[in-house]
Amino acid sequence: MNPTRRRLLTLAPLPLLPALQGCGTPLPLASAGTAAGVDAQAVRWLRQCADRHGRGAYQGLHDINVAYDGQWRPLIDRIQPDVVDKPWRQRSEERLLPREGVIAQAHRGPSGRKQVLRRAGRARGQPGEVSVWYDGRPDARDAVRTASALVADCYVFFLLGPLWLDEQVAAGSTPLAMGERVRVDGRACQWVEAWLRPGFGLSTGDRASLAIDRDDLTCRRLRFTLEGHPTTQGAVAEVDWLELVQRHGVWWPSRSYERVVHPFPDFPAHDWRLTGLDVNRRYDASALQGPAFGGAAAAPAAPL
């Protein structure tokens, strides 16, 4: 990268992003697709992809327990310090209760421990709630809450992809449409586009897309907007599922890579891998309250 571009990226303030939303974004929030309802062909593609990834087995899971380890790419923490939260987010243990719409994250980094509890809205269309603790102390600042809710929801999408999106469509009021064709690592894929209400985190709306392999119906890439935090509004990112592993009847992404594709083209952000996974410990949401996991949720995810 030449020194001038590196300096511009280092100094670029993403609070300017709202003005860029109409400047060639690959996922415009306003589109004719939002008024078109649910396209039957897109539903078939999504359902076949979800079946390919183990939809039947996934529906039988009560709780999902995962562990991650990752590496932030250079400069991304300078551009998005609230969302990256690099001093506190390197490794994590995460607990999902899919039927209850609850996710809890226990992050660890060089500065200590960060705990996040995220609950979906009780009624459809509501953005839900989030609580955050740093080293056991609650932090209710708006920037912390919006960034943490955005990260929590996105990591559910990153882990479940078509399984999660299929549930959103099945619940109603999530428009779905066929997108363009694309090649992902040499594979011919089909974009399926969704309009989410609410969106990721505390956003009222977002766009999300899956690149589905036209030959074997595997999800290869996720694309999504990030409207839930003030300094990410107008941004679009992609996650590639580089490797998959089958456990408990479900195909899980075991190695992933994220990049920003708008307003910066192909800007590296994050590499991470799944280091632990187990299911059906049978705890409830009370085990995820407060600044640490309790009961059956406390033990680390089983190593892969």
Confidence of residue 121 (pLDDT cuts 50, 70, 90): confident
Class of domain 34-297: mainly beta
Q: What is the pLDDT of residue 182?
A: 97
pLDDT tens column, 231-273: 999 999 999 999 999 999 999 999 999 999 999 999 999 999 9
- Residue extents of the structural domains in the chain: 34-297
Q: Which of 12-16, 109-113, 119-123 has the highest mean pLDDT?
A: 109-113
Q: Rounded mean pLDDT of 117-146?
A: 93
Query: Above 60 in pLDDT, residue 291?
Result: yes
Residue 31 has pLDDT above 70, yes or no: no
What is residue 104's predicted lDDT score, i.e. its pLDDT?
A: 98
Residues of the chain above pLDDT 90, percent = 84
Which of 240, 145, 272 is closest to 201 using CA atoms?
A: 145
